[in-house]
Amino acid sequence: MSIFVWKDPALNTPLAEALSVVLLALVLACAVIRPFGWSEAVVAVPAAALVIVTGAVSLDDALAEAEQLGPVVGFLAAVLVLAQLCDDDGLFRACGAWMARTSAGRPRRLLTQVFLAASAITAALSLDATVVLLTPVVFATAARLGVRPKPHVYACTHLSNTASLLLPVSNLTNLLAFTVSGLTFTRFAALMALPWVAAIAVEYVVFRRFFATDLDAGTQAPPATETPELPLFALLTVGGTLAGFALSSVVGVDPAWAAFAGALVLAVRALLRRRTTPRALLRSASVPFLAFVLSLGIVVRAVVDNGLDTALGHVIPAGTSLPVLLGLAALAALLANLINNLPAVLVLLPLTAPSGPGAVLAVLLGVNIGPNLTYAGSLATLLWRRIVHAHEAEVELKEFTRLGLYAVPASLGAAVLALWGSLTVIGGG
């Protein structure tokens, strides 16, 4: 590959590859375990510096990677802030009240409402919002109604992955793929709309059957009567931001600006009303996490360039026919389960980008839906469970994995089929 020509010959390739792989493992392990309560950036940033200093990745390549990831990271920060400010404004509380009211005390209706809410919130405000902000609200709603909470909480964890297919902002993996795919925001959404609906529909059917017993139990609590004020301003700002995303592709501006504008509007209002502080805003932007993503990108680049590209190049099918798309999605899902979907997508993107947007989107289906297979994400999570939660009672793994075994192959298959249909009708552009 041509990039080899540009590399500083300070380290020979096998040695550079070994060093990069060790550093990547270290970065990932420390992000999961957080030794001494360290921030995820504490190990990642020096690791990135080390691959540059040793020449495992050239300074030019590292800069190119940073240049590509920088806007992605900024975009992500804006969305994280936007979601946090929506929560401060009571959007998620209002969502809980809406679910309680409209479910009329019927567990099956509540599951439908949870699916609708989690799908919309994941798509518009990213999976972080669903996991961190919506899940507790859903649990509280179920508890208040006297409904068994398990199906509804599991729905949140599954949909935070499955429903994160629709927009580039829905998942960090999407943002990474979006920048290399060359698609516009609207085209991305148009191509992913059908796979998004298909995957969620399959999950819904699986949940209704899998949790039939829990959903059969009635409720005793009287339907909640409290109706918190709808945070109209926050809702309109999110709507305006989404419209801004669509408009950005027409005008040809980076959609990140729409996210910045949305976050800025809510931030200024919250600051004026003294509902937040600059410190809290900075915290919700998760600066160490952003540094972590940048550093992880550079370390992965070193791993890919020093040999993984040629090794995986033989395994990765080219083209966008249905069998190829299925193969790519399956490979991506496998990798996402082996490590975590973030490094998986960083590894696979440069290798599939030459095949065009269809291949990139198939990888996304795999890395986004795949994590539902192993307990909440990956073997990295298992490591976390062993070390961080070793003192706690062993969590029931069997049921979660069984649910994943039903849901993941079916929803992934349906999504790939839908993507193939979308590509045929709309075209990869």
What's the rounded Cα separation, in Å, for the pair 185 and 247? Answer: 9
Identity of the residue, 2 or 220, whose beta carbon is nearer to another protein in the bound complex: 220
Cβ-count burial of 394 within 10 angstroms (0-12 exposed, 13-18 middle, 19+ buried)?
exposed
**In 10 A of CB 295, how many CB atoms?**
25
Closer to another protein at the Cβ: 109 or 144?
A: 144
Distance of closest approach, residue 389 Cβ to another protein, in angstroms: 7
Cβ proximity to another protein, 146 vs 240, nearer residue: 146
Q: How far is the CB of 344 from another protein (least distance, A)?
A: 10
Neighbours of 49 (CB within 10 A): 13
CB of 32 to another protein, least distance (A): 7
The region, left, alpha or beta by phi > 0 then psi within -120 to 50, assigned to residue 319 is left
- 218 vs 106, 207, 252, 357, CA distance in Å? 7, 17, 52, 47
Q: Which is nearer to another protein, 159 or 308 (CB)?
A: 159
Supply the minimum distance, in Å, between the C-beta of residue 226 and another protein: 16
Q: Which of 163, 191 has the CB closer to another protein?
A: 163
Q: How far apart are CA 230 and CA 224, in angstroms?
A: 16
* All residues at 6 or more sequence positions from 198 whose CB lies less than 8 Å from its CB, including other chains: 411, 414, 415, 417, 418
Number of H helices, E strands in the chain: 22, 0
| CB 40 to another protein: min, Å | 4
**By C-alpha distance, which of 321, 322, 326, 328 is closest to 353?**
328
Of residues 218 and 252, the one with the C-beta less far from another protein: 218
Q: How far is the CB of 1 from another protein (least distance, A)?
A: 28
Binding site for another protein (CB under 8 A): 28, 31-32, 34, 37, 39-40, 44, 107, 127-128, 131-133, 135-136, 139-140, 143-144, 146-150, 153-154, 156-157, 160, 212-214, 216-220, 283, 286, 288-289, 292-293, 296, 340, 342, 371, 375-378, 380-381, 384-385, 388-389, 392-393, 395-396, 399-400
Residue whose CB is less far from another protein, 21 or 247: 21
CB of 408 to another protein, least distance (A): 14
Residue 39, token pair as written in the block: 């921030």
